Structure 1
Amino acid sequence: MEPNNKIALVTGGSRGLGKNMALSIAKKGINVIITYNSKKDEALAVVAEIQKEGVKAAALQLNTGEIKTFDAFFEQIKAVLKDTFNAGHFDFLINNAGIGINAPFAETSEDAFDTLMNIHFKGVFFLTQKALPLINDGGRIINLSTGLARFSAPGYAAYASMKGAIETLTKYQAKELGARGIAVNVVAPGAIETDFGGGAVRDNQHYNDYVKSVTALGRAGLPDDIGGVVAFLCTEDARWINAQRIEVSGGMNL
């Protein structure tokens, strides 16, 4: 794939779904900046993989729940855009970074609630807001939600509520950023086999079997099932998709 000089910023791109998204985007000829929370070595390994696709790549540390660090982060982004990409702006923001906390509604602590809100909603809200001056007109924003915002499973009341907020926010972003030609969409994965949430879908055979039983295509999802959809939304073929929730779950809980 010929490089096209477009640039994507993928939060939480050092592992799991974010890594798959970053590599899938690179295969479209798009340059990629990933963020990582703590695992710098993993992030640099992903950068090396992305570069093998013939595009440019960089990694920056970011805790997406620490809103007060965002101004300094975007100063770093400006420097990286200039030094690595010879650019002043980027084109695609993928708000992927996240954690899973599984607790019954009755036992969810305020600290756990605040952590989930800061990472999955407040952080996404203000990271995107602060990114706006650096996103090219005609760019794209892709927010990540979850199948759990459509159907419910015990233990995810707080997590799924934040994602429900993201789905509403996406429509408002699409409405208000449309004048700049920026399309905003949601990708909502179903149950995926990664280390997310302690690896429950991947490592718990009972839960994995349950997921298979309620999924029309008869298996749990894999990271490869998601990354290509996000990459597609960064292409010209997806230019007229806007304010949509695209669930990528194999037909879970239909």
Structure 2
Amino acid sequence: MSEQTSNQKIVVVTGASSGIGRGAAIEIAARGMGVVVTYNARPEGAERTVEEIREAGGTAVALPLDIGRTDTFPAFTTALTRVLSSEWGATSIHALVNNAGFGGGLAFEEMTEDALDAYYRVLLRGPYFLTQALLPLIEHGGAIVNTSSSAVRPGDTEPGYSGYAAMKGGLATATRYLAKELSGRAIRVNSVSPGPTRTRLGDNAFERFPEVIDGLAAKTAFGRIGEPADIGKVIAFLVSDDSAWITGEDILATGGYAL
């Protein structure tokens, strides 16, 4: 068991093997909370996240999770319950960050039912039912943060993102309703909508096509695209007690993109 006491707040961050998830996990740990890092295809990335947190004096463990397969959620819940006990001597979590997902656009004329179903399973159905599965473990006064996208807002309407944005918009709407439904347990539910951020989404698009970065940066107020830590700090704030009076909100974190 960790040297940390069982009253340490524990946060589950899905999709934390890279990008915004990793940034959020590191920033949350820096605030003194323990972190359960989930991954799907990149276990080595999750282990790097865990190592970075531990090297900074924090506590973290990694667990596999396929957010697109709701049938695996009972087994994940069992594994999570076991690791909470073995690592922290805990029986509950303080917060859940639904961050796992994938990006990339697809023109409407080329959209297929399978492609739209993939967006639905990973970006909306998965986070929705993972929240339901883990709700019994979330403590009274805890928090849920969903990663949405600035693509759901006017001003960031790019061709080819109708399917992606529809699911992210659905998640932001569900956030508001869950804030109402879970208020009886004083659980705060918010979403964060990042703008263009340097991640591996879109099959590592920014690394493969660096020429697009300047154009996106020029549309922000600060002349650069976002970094994972920029969004991670917002998420860490929303799971902390510093945001105790905020619920049902979608926080735009874009550096003034498309103002």
Q: CA deviation at 1:93?
A: 0.3
Q: For structure 1, which segment, 99-108 or 122-131, has the greater mean C-alpha deviation from structure 2 after superposition?
A: 99-108
Structure 1 counterpart of 2:234, from 217, 225, 229: 229
Q: SS of the residue aligned with 1:153?
A: coil
Alignment-mate amino acid for residue 106 of structure 1: E
Q: SS of the residue aligned with 1:12?
A: coil
Q: TM-score, normalised by structure 2?
A: 0.94
**Structure 1 unmatched runs, 5+:** none
1:67 aligns with 2:74: no
What CA RMSD, in Å, does the superposition of the two structures yield over aligned residues? 1.5
Q: Which residue of 2 aligns with 1:14?
A: 17
CA distance in 1, matches of 2:189, 2:84: 22
1:169 aligns with 2:169: no
Structure 2 counterpart of 1:105, from 104, 108, 115: 108
Q: CA deviation at 1:47?
A: 1.1
**Structure 2 unmatched runs, 5+:** none
Q: CA deviation at 1:202?
A: 4.7
Q: Can you list the C-alpha shifts for 1:95-130, whole angstroms capped at 9, x where unaligned?
A: 000111321111112111111110000001100011
Structure 2 counterpart of 1:187, from 167, 186, 192: 192
Q: Which residue of 2 aligns with 1:37?
A: 40
Identity of aligned residues (%): 42
Q: CA deviation at 1:19?
A: 0.6
CA distance in 1, matches of 2:212, 2:112: 24
| Residues 118-129 of structure 1 aligned to structure 2 (within 5 Å) | 118-129=121-132
Q: Can you list the C-alpha shifts for 1:10-69, whole angstroms capped at 9, x where unaligned?
A: 000111110111000000000000100022222122112112232321111011000111
Q: CA deviation at 1:216?
A: 1.7
Q: CA deviation at 1:203?
A: 4.2
Q: SS of the residue aligned with 1:199?
A: helix
Q: CA deviation at 1:156?
A: 1.0
Q: Which residue of 1 aligns with 2:250?
A: 245
Q: CA deviation at 1:233?
A: 1.1
CA distance in 2, matches of 1:131, 1:17: 21
Q: TM-score, normalised by structure 1?
A: 0.95
Q: Which residue of 1 aligns with 2:145?
A: 142
Q: CA deviation at 1:200?
A: 2.8
Larger relative contact order, structure 1 or 2 (CA cutoff 8 Å, min sep 6):
2
CA distance in 2, matches of 1:202, 1:252: 20
Q: SS of the residue aligned with 2:82?
A: helix
1:210 aligns with 2:215: yes
Alignment-mate amino acid for residue 248 of structure 1: A
Q: Can you list the C-alpha shifts for 1:206-254, whole angstroms capped at 9, x where unaligned?
A: 4212212221222111112111111111222110011111111011112
Count residues in correspondence.
253
Alignment-mate amino acid for residue 245 of structure 1: D
Q: Which residue of 2 aligns with 1:197?
A: 202
